[in-house]
């Protein structure tokens, strides 16, 4: 019952998409914001929703060690399930953990061939076969175009979808497409782009590119105190 309730409470449905995953297999998406706003927290919640639906999530971190990434998952899961009884929460947490695998790289040593090799090791040995991949900490500019094309091909080949965190800069100007100038040059490679935009005491989740639309007057927010996604009405 708890598992079903947490799945049904997924507020990202309000972005207007027809499926729970938002991204179909073979697609890539990005979450944009400047440092410290909540990109990783948002993607961890997408991952948790997938894990609750028995989907396998491969989380690749280029900045943080495994224990820090695991802490993100644990804290956000327990925030989400906080109103339920402790033993029930712990039991559910243990049951969803096998659906997540954390992989780390040093930023300077990350390459697509290395990722493909490690992914093949996991899948060919029957250790882990992901449905969703998160790549957190990759630096983006026009020079990444070939890597992104290769990663998109990897997503198509393996029938997965990939989310990226993209760090933008404070006070950065936007292009005619409404996207930060530093990202615009590679934006055409992405099927969906979300932006986290601090406004007064709130962080708004805005859809900048992709199908679906945020309901007028009812944007989604990221609660700065818990980093949980919530509706503006809550």
In the 8-state DSSP scheme, what is residue 54?
T
Percent of the chain with pLDDT over 70: 86
Residues 104/63, Cβ–Cβ less than 8 Å = no
Q: What is the mean pLDDT of residues 139-167?
A: 93
**Placement of tokens 């659906």 in the chain:** 99
* pLDDT tens digits, 6-22: 765 665 665 655 556 78
Per-domain boundaries in the chain: 2-13+25-231
**Number of H-type helices and E-type strands within the chain:** 7, 9
Residue 119, pLDDT > 50, answer yes
As a whole number of angstroms, the distance between CA 51 and CA 94 comes to: 11
Instruction: Give the domain 2-13+25-231 fold.
Output: Rossmann fold (3.40.50)
Pairwise pLDDT comparison (156 vs 225), residue with the higher score: 156
Query: What pLDDT was estimated at residue 164?
Result: 97
* pLDDT tens digits, 174-226: 776 778 888 888 999 999 999 998 888 889 888 888 765 444 444 688 888 88
Residues 164/30, Cβ–Cβ less than 8 Å = yes
As a whole number of angstroms, the distance between CA 145 and CA 79 comes to: 37
Query: What pLDDT was estimated at residue 219?
Result: 65
SS3 at position 204: strand
């Amino acid at each position: 019952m708890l598992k079903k309730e947490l799945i049904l409470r997924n507020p990202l449905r309000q972005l207007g998409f027809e499926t729970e995953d938002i991204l179909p297999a073979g697609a890539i998406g990005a979450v944009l914001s400047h440092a410290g706003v909540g990109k990783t927290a948002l993607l961890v919640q997408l991952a948790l929703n997938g894990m609750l639906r028995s989907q396998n999530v491969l989380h690749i971190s280029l900045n943080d060690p495994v224990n820090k990434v695991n802490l993100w998952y644990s804290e956000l899961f327990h925030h989400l399930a906080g109103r339920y009884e402790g033993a029930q929460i712990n039991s559910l947490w243990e049951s969803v953990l096998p659906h997540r695998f954390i992989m780390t790289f040093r930023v300077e040593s990350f390459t697509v061939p290395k990722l493909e090799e490690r992914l093949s090791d996991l899948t060919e040995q029957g250790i882990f076969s992901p449905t969703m991949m998160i790549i957190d900490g990759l630096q983006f500019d026009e020079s990444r175009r070939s890597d992104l094309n290769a990663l998109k091909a990897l997503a198509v080949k393996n029938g997965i979808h990939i989310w990226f965190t993209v760090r933008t800069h404070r006070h950065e100007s936007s292009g005619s497409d409404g996207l930060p100038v530093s990202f615009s040059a590679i934006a055409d490679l992405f099927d969906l782009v979300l932006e986290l935009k601090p406004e007064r005491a709130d962080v708004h989740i805005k859809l900048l590119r992709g199908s679906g639309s945020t309901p007028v007057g009812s944007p989604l927010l990221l609660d700065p105190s818990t980093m949980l996604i919530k509706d503006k009405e809550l």
